[in-house]
Amino acid sequence: MAGEFQIIERYFTRPSGDRSVVLGVGDDAAVLAIDGLAAVTVDTLVEGVHFPRDMAPDLVGYRVLAVSLSDIAAMGGEPKWCTLALTLAQVDEAWLGEFARGLFELASVHGVSLVGGDITRGPLAASLQLIGRVGERYLTRAGGRPGDDVYVTGTPGDAAAGLALRVATAAPQGTQAERGAAAVQGAYAMALRERFERPTPRVAAGRALAPLANAAIDVSDGLLADLGHICERSGCGAIVDVDALPLSEALAALVPPDAALEYALSGGDDYELCFTAPRSNAAAIDAALAACGTQARRIGRLIEGSVVECRRGGAPFAPPARGYTHF
């Protein structure tokens, strides 16, 4: 059975073409050439708590990096270097190979180098620390001002619906027309599942927004909850126009309108960006996001006060309580 050093050598040592990695995996610590300001974040995924026991290992490897990339994106940073602390219940080389494949696949997309880590025995968990570069103007939760527009990227709610859809669906039966309709539903369900299993951290969008937005956060707890964090830190309130929420075609097709709204407002795990910016930057924001291929929608604005309110058809709207189980 492979020992700790063989595991590191086999699965976690990849040459980095990055000259900023002066010394990578293999010594007592890595040495990096960090020029200017760095943003640092760490996240831990514990089996059975943050990911389901049966989750494919490549998706766990992908996810542990994706959630930290999303944090750096929300700071408007450029992700650069990471370290990985793995806790393994046993040495399962097939699992490790797939985990590493998922991790390095996403790392190479973003030019991130794995420069060190740790392996220990215990209940399965992965902890990844990511360091990114930020410019003098980076994004925080605290920079929002009353009057700012509130935006969200992508189509919120998909990941939470996709998680609910992980429950196995029965093989389609019935007439050809019924089977055809089931196939369309199946394709939508796959699309939502993919949004939970392989969230897209909005790194390019975050960097593009750094000079233009006043505040930003990544949506991990749910849009209203995370917008609430911006409001708290920025000392203001917000109005969200739920009619403006960009719902995906798949979400709208698979769940009733009220459930779709609830997923979009309260569902977690989207890893989209919620940000605020002065109206005077609207055109520049549209252009900057179009250039990096990310959609964003204006969904409301910051106001004086401390409350996050929703409006539907112009009237106050109490968001549906959590707890839909439509699948």
Q: Among residues 86 and 231, whose Cβ is nearest to ligand ADP?
A: 86
27 binds ligand ADP per the rule CB under 6 A? yes
* Burial class (CB within 10 angstroms; exposed 0-12, middle 13-18, buried 19+) of 283: exposed
Count of residues of this chain found to bind ligand ADP when the rule CB under 6 A is applied: 13
Binding string to Mg ion for residues 113 to 132, with x set by CB under 5 A, is what? -----x--------------
Instruction: Answer yes or no: are the C-beta atoms of 81 and 112 closer than 8 Å.
Output: yes
Stretch that binds ligand ADP, among 19-27, 128-136, 274-282, 285-293 (CB under 6 A): 19-27
124 binds ligand ADP per the rule CB under 6 A? no
CB atoms within 10 A of CB 308: 23
Q: Among residues 107 and 261, whose Cβ is nearest to ligand ADP?
A: 107
Chain residues 89-118 in contact with ligand ADP, contact rule CB under 6 A: 114, 116-118
Instruction: Tell me the C-alpha distance between 34 and 138, whole Å.
Output: 16
Instruction: Answer yes or no: are the C-beta atoms of 236 and 276 closer than 8 Å.
Output: no
- Amino acid occupying residue 278: P
- Amino acid occupying residue 161: A
Q: Among residues 27 and 35, whose Cβ is nearest to Mg ion?
A: 27
3 binds ligand ADP per the rule CB under 6 A? no
Q: Among residues 26 and 52, whose Cβ is nearest to ligand ADP?
A: 26
Residue 7 Cβ vs ligand ADP, minimum distance, rounded to whole Å: 7
Residue 210 Cβ vs Mg ion, minimum distance, rounded to whole Å: 34
Q: Among residues 28 and 136, whose Cβ is nearest to ligand ADP?
A: 28
Stretch that binds ligand ADP, among 20-28, 167-175, 217-225, 244-252 (CB under 6 A): 20-28
The one of ligand ADP, Mg ion, none whose footprint includes residue 258, by CB under 5 to 8 A per kind, is none
Residue 163 Cβ vs ligand ADP, minimum distance, rounded to whole Å: 27
Residue 67 Cβ vs ligand ADP, minimum distance, rounded to whole Å: 17
Residue 242 Cβ vs ligand ADP, minimum distance, rounded to whole Å: 44
The one of Mg ion, ligand ADP, none whose footprint includes residue 27, by CB under 5 to 8 A per kind, is ligand ADP
26 binds ligand ADP per the rule CB under 6 A? yes
Q: Which of 67, 84, 150, 296 binds ligand ADP (CB under 6 A)?
A: 84
Two tokens, residue 292: 């990096």
The one of ligand ADP, Mg ion, none whose footprint includes residue 9, by CB under 5 to 8 A per kind, is none
Secondary structure of the chain as H, E, C letters: CCCHHHHHHHHCCCCCCCCCEEECECECCCEECCCCEEEEEEEEEEECCCECCCCCHHHHHHHHHHHHHHHHHHCCCEEEEEEEEEEECCCCHHHHHHHHHHHHHHHHHHCCEEEEEEEEECCCEEEEEEEEEECCCCCCCCCCCCCCEEEEECCCCHHHHHHHCCCCCCCCCCCHHHHHHHHHHHHHHHHHHHHHHCCCCCHHHHHHHCCCCCEEEEECCCHHHHHHHHHHHHCCEEEEEHHHCCCCHHHHHHCCHHHHHHHHHHCCCCCEEEEEECHHHHHHHHHHHHHCCCCEEEEEEEECCCCEEEEECCEEECCCCCCCCCC
Q: Which of 39, 72, 73, 119 binds ligand ADP (CB under 6 A)?
A: 119
Count of residues of this chain found to bind Mg ion when the rule CB under 5 A is applied: 1
Q: Among residues 98 and 218, whose Cβ is nearest to ligand ADP?
A: 98
What residues make contact with ligand ADP under the rule CB under 6 A? 8, 12, 25-28, 84, 86, 114, 116-119
> Which residues are near Mg ion by CB under 5 A?
118
